[in-house]
Structure 1
Amino acid sequence: MTKPISYKRDRYPPPIIAHAVWLYFRFSLSLRLVEEMLLERGVVVSYATVRRWAIKFGPEYTRRIKRKRPSRHDIWHLDEVVSIAGQKHWLWRAVDQDGYVLDEIVQTRRDTEAAKRLPKRLLKKQGCPPRRMSADKLVSYTAARRQILPRTEHRSRMSLNNRAENSHLPLRRRERAMQGFRSPRKLQSFTSVFSAVRNLFVPLRCRRSALATHLHRLAAMAEWKSAACVPA
């Protein structure tokens, strides 16, 4: 059983901390804007404290969020994007057919060894191989798939990987709002929480009616509060 989160040394109530962390990771808000929004609600807290909460509690919350159940019928869309963090780094990302972010790894290389690391982690995390793997025409993916997922169908037409390309956009917008990431470690830490929060609150593509979206968000907020160990 997962131990409850301890707020023992924090003088602010857990609901305020959970709300601040939610604002920061759910929306394209700077730390100072989160500070201002909390002030409007009568909560006086510095942006430095919001940063500390995000670093300390963000990973703790997301570890308690339920992941989407994997299936052998899933399609993994793999892609990589350039991110400058001191030097050129590549953020390798995988999403499924619904746009759900499965995993992300920051790496300095773009070769076969780097390409093998992502499907290896995915196979361990998901517990079963996908029905199909879709990627761009990078040769490293072909070699990685041959060694890690030899029985999985591999398609490399660019048009088939639009799902992965589109999934980069929210993170790219957030990166611009933050004026980039200062280090690979911070990039890895931020994306792991950012994507988990987005997975929780953004409805799957098959559930886009107004009522379904509304109900999904209510359920997501209830799960977020449960993960943060605060009353609903």
Structure 2
Amino acid sequence: MPMRVRYLLLMLCALPLAAAAQGFKFSTEEAKAREAAKAQQAEREQRIATQLSTPCREQIRNRKIMVLIGEEVNGEVQARQAAFSPHLDAINRRLQHLGLRTYSPGEIRKQIAQAEIDAYFKNNPDAALSAARRLAANYTLKGLISARAMRNPMIPVNQVAVSMHFVLTGSDGKPVAQAEAQSQSYSGADVQGMALTLINEQAEEVVAKLYSEYCQQPVGRRK
């Protein structure tokens, strides 16, 4: 048998072994990735449970909270609440689990003029207090969506990183807690859609952090 033919036969025989070894390598990597994901999820759940164990649940039960969301676009904040109904619903559900009473976007629009909401997102403290008092809200939670465009250094595509900054204020208009939510970069232009995904993925952590920070405030600050 010619040497070349013998070499080819040996290579063909070795292919199944190599494929099996490669498959074993992939299986091992997948198993490690699954274990890492499980550990990360367990750590997340423990962190949320610890934050929610802060004892002031009875103090906030049945208190009213107004949630407002805006999106920063080219240096201006767009804050028409009708555009953020799914985002508001997702946050409100988590707040209701803590015993808080929330307002629907429709209830907010009936009581508060758009100009007042716009002024609130321009950091006008009087507008914030006026809006909260009109709804008899004990707290106001402001969420601001922002996006940052970038060029992927590895592949020639544009990407966008979406983040949300939340600030909780008391009835006196002073901040008592804040939290951040950030996404990995992605390709696309639907910033609000990505923000909704971000809220659904991280709302429990955001609300738990806000609750924990609020409960750690001195009693006199929990207005």
Bigger RCO (CA 8 Å, 6+ sep):
1
Under a length normalisation based on structure 2, what TM-score does the superposition of the two structures give? 0.32
- Structure (1 or 2) with the greater strand fraction: 2
